[in-house]
Amino acid sequence: MIALIQRVNEASVTVDGDVIGKIGRGLLAFIAVQPDDGAEQVTRMVERILTYRVFPDAEERMNQSLKDQNLELLAVPQFTLAADTRKGTRPSFTRAAPPEKGREFFDMFLRECAARLPAIASGQFGANMQVSLVNDGPVTFWLETRAATAN
Catalytic residues: 78-80
How far, in whole angstroms, is CA 32 from its chain's centroid?
Answer: 8
Cβ–Cβ under 8 Å, residues 132 and 11: yes
Residues 76/123, Cβ–Cβ less than 8 Å: yes
C-alpha 4/C-alpha 74 separation (Å) is 12
3-state helix, strand, coil in the chain (%, to 5): 25, 40, 40
